[in-house]
Structure 1
Amino acid sequence: MSQQASTTVRTRIAPSPTGFLHLGTARTALYSWAYARHHGGQFVLRIEDTDLARSTQDSVEQILASMKWLGLEYDEGPIYQMQRLERYQAVVDQLIAEGKAYRCYCTPEQLESMKAAQDARGEKRRYDGTWRPEAGKELPAVPEGVQPVVRFKNPVDGDVTWNDLVKGPITINNREIDDLIIVRPDGVPTYNFAVVVDDWDMSITHVFRGDEHINNTPWQINIFHALGAKLPVFGHLPIILGDDGQKLSKRRGAVSVTAYEDDGYLPEAMLNYLSRLGWSHGDDELFSSEQMVSWFDGTHLSKSPSQWDPAKLEWVNGQYIKQIDEARLASLVSAQLAKRGIQAEAAQLQPMCALFKDRCATTVALADWLSMYFAAVTPSAEELTAHVTDTIKPALTALADKFAGIEWHKAAIQAAIKEVIGAHALKMPQLAIPVRVLVCGRAQTPSLDAVLELFSKEKVIERLRGA
């Protein structure tokens, strides 16, 4: 991995495998990917797995599956931090040798006592520099049996300033931050240190991430400077709010990306919707990933939080359901039906999807409709009572008899229905609705002849005679 300043735009997404890939991280991945693609650059996937207590292989696999489903192809990776421990140690050794980091032997009890004393004095909690080496300072004796942490020797004066791609200029005084722990007692680096070494080694030029990381950025910038490394451009994205107005997160209301796949959403619809949560291109609502890449130059990013709107996502998905290739749509619906124990070939489903897709916002909704062609239907008692009356049953029997003698296509079905309506002096809804209830299990469907044509004649007759 090169540590030279890169002239190529390089972005990354670096999820922690402590749970599923949630929607906020997916949006960050999308923006990072689109920005790299817009500039002809490269997109890197890094797995930040140094939280040994909470990281799991299942989470890694879910993250990879989510990225694949969304179609966010990465040029490098996945790169795992736990496979880079030797590299982190080498950089730590360098910083210690240069007097830019030091070992701290404070015990957890001492640190708690330090915080309590600061609280009592009404001071901001911060490390008091007990083990920070300074000219002419005598350090305490190294205690036995205490495994040290390594702290970064943060500058005590001056400001940290950067021009954020989203927020604009941000300045934080160094006195607001203290000497960060960069290596734990077990030798595993902390987030703020590992991420700097990774971004340096991987020549990352632009970092998109959630604005909860703003407070980490001054430490990271100071570590970049200590290493003599070129700073990436930072873009801190506003949070996504859930229905309750609180931050959408792994711990509060967020749903995994793959759950939306299970629920019948299309990846291109999800990308379209996610892209608009914090970025816009004029008044455009619906656009392809290719269009987004051509437009996404890092401008027009919102500084304000966005509200997750399930109804809007459903609307967007419904628009894509109407537009996608029907062979692909039928294949997706076939998979949804298979989860219900219904085996149906995509070729058989294609004309059904074409008929019902305008009524459906998800492939699950389509499967709900199409299951009537393959599994028994159970009309509600209320609809049977309301529509399948003793008055109408003779006409239903006559229609079943009529159907038995015709060729099974839409025109003949329509002619048979009209003939029975005329013979029994009925209006179309008086016969059509009971037929729908018995055959389809519901009172409302698309055009009745088109719906019936896709059933086998035998099944329609059987359900009508069951009245």
Structure 2
Amino acid sequence: LNNAFRQLAMIRALGWPEPVYAHIPLIHGADGAKLSKRHGALGVDAYRDEMGMLPEAVNNYLLRLGWGHGDDEIIGRDQAVEWFDLAGVGRSPSRFDFKKLENLNGHYMREADDARLSALIAPGVARDAGREFDRSDRELLLRSIPFLKVRAKDINDLTDGAGFMFRTRPLDMDEKAGSLLDGPGKTLLAEARDALAATDDWSAPALEAAVRTVAERGGIGLGKVAQPLRAALTGRTTSPGIFDVLALLGREESLGRMDDQLG
């Protein structure tokens, strides 16, 4: 505000038309202190390059920090241009809530074009896999995006979630996944492997039906069979739906990963 008076004096001296000034409220950090270079503020490129936020999510969130339109939270750029007026600008400082930004980014991730997301994460997935991607790798990655993006909060999350498809066999198991392949889990994996190998139709519904027969024969829930199966296929305890994973990996790769763990 101090600069406004100096600027007005210069504008009047030059005979220029005077602008209308409006004050946008400050943004405070989670602790309530004013954001600054020395206190929590980041360059906008850090949200994209380091945190994996989509530009449209950051735009939407920053807009809502200082301005509102009723109860609307999801506001695209075109809608913001149409709706914006100074009456909607808040009077009090806003508090930056990274969790809200993360949730908003998750919404935009789910709405984003699959080809765009695939192109954004391909360099990172290839780097983590330790190889250059060929056409078949890029096609597999693109096919996987609809299943991966529903769980991803940001680009980093999506990159990490896609990694299991391109890992070198035999897969390294994380500790929890490895524990699922001991004793009874390994027995269930062997039974599931035999049922899947006998399946001609390698589609998610047919694969689910095959694994369900194993669960029903053992008098257990489907999840009990899916857990060691997921561990063998991904090396983790979390992934997209396990039958989607099987369909994405294909028959040869899926059976090969199971055989690696069965010895």
Give the TM-score band, short-chain normalised.
0.7 to 0.9
| 3-state secondary structure, aligned to 2:86 | coil
Instruction: Find the counterpart in structure 2 of residue 350 from structure 1.
Output: 142
| 3-state secondary structure, aligned to 1:247 | coil
| Separation in 1, partners of 2:101, 2:244 | 30
Contact persistence 1:336–1:363 (CA under 8 A): no
Amino acid at match of 1:360: A
| Separation in 2, partners of 1:355, 1:428 | 20
| Separation in 1, partners of 2:103, 2:186 | 40
Instruction: Find the counterpart in structure 1 of residue 81 from structure 2.
Output: 293
| Separation in 2, partners of 1:279, 1:396 | 54
Contact persistence 1:439–1:460 (CA under 8 A): yes
| Separation in 1, partners of 2:47, 2:126 | 17
Residue 425 of structure 1 deviates from its aligned partner by 4.7
Residue 431 of structure 1 deviates from its aligned partner by 1.4
1:19-418 pair list within 5 angstroms: 214-262=1-49, 263-340=51-128, 341=130, 343=133, 346-376=138-168, 377-385=171-179, 387-407=180-200, 408-418=202-212
| 3-state secondary structure, aligned to 2:249 | coil
Contact persistence 1:388–1:434 (CA under 8 A): yes
If each structure's strand is expressed as a fraction of its own residues, which one has the higher value?
1
| Separation in 2, partners of 1:338, 1:360 | 18
Matched, 1:463 2:250: no
Q: Deviations over 1:158-217 (max 9, x none)?
A: xxxxxxxxxxxxxxxxxxxxxxxxxxxxxxxxxxxxxxxxxxxxxxxxxxxxxxxx1122
Contact persistence 2:177–2:237 (CA under 8 A): yes
Residue 423 of structure 1 deviates from its aligned partner by 4.6
| Separation in 2, partners of 1:292, 1:234 | 20
The percentage of aligned residue pairs carrying the same residue is 36
Q: Deviations over 1:330-365 (max 9, x none)?
A: 222324424534637554323311112221111221
| Separation in 2, partners of 1:352, 1:392 | 27
| Separation in 2, partners of 1:383, 1:325 | 32
State the superposition RMSD in angstroms: 2.2
2:238 corresponds to which of 444, 454, 461: 444
Residue 460 of structure 1 deviates from its aligned partner by 2.0
Alignment length (residue pairs): 253
Residue 453 of structure 1 deviates from its aligned partner by 0.8
| Separation in 1, partners of 2:76, 2:184 | 54
Give the structure with higher Rg (CA).
1
Residue 392 of structure 1 deviates from its aligned partner by 3.1
Residue 435 of structure 1 deviates from its aligned partner by 1.0
| 3-state secondary structure, aligned to 2:108 | helix
Residue 307 of structure 1 deviates from its aligned partner by 0.9
| Separation in 2, partners of 1:261, 1:289 | 17
| Separation in 1, partners of 2:126, 2:189 | 33
Residue 295 of structure 1 deviates from its aligned partner by 1.0
| Separation in 1, partners of 2:143, 2:158 | 12
What stretches of structure 1 of length at least 5 have no aligned partner?
1-213
Contact persistence 2:66–2:94 (CA under 8 A): yes
Distance change in 2, residues 1:286/1:346 (3 Å) = farther
Q: Deviations over 1:409-464 (max 9, x none)?
A: 22332233133334545432221111112212222334321221111323222322
Residue 299 of structure 1 deviates from its aligned partner by 2.4
| Separation in 1, partners of 2:215, 2:122 | 36
Contact persistence 1:240–1:247 (CA under 8 A): yes
Residue 314 of structure 1 deviates from its aligned partner by 0.9
Q: Deviations over 1:290-328 (max 9, x none)?
A: 010011133211121111111111111111111122222
| Bigger relative contact order, structure 1 or 2 (CA pairs below 8 A, ≥6 apart) | 2
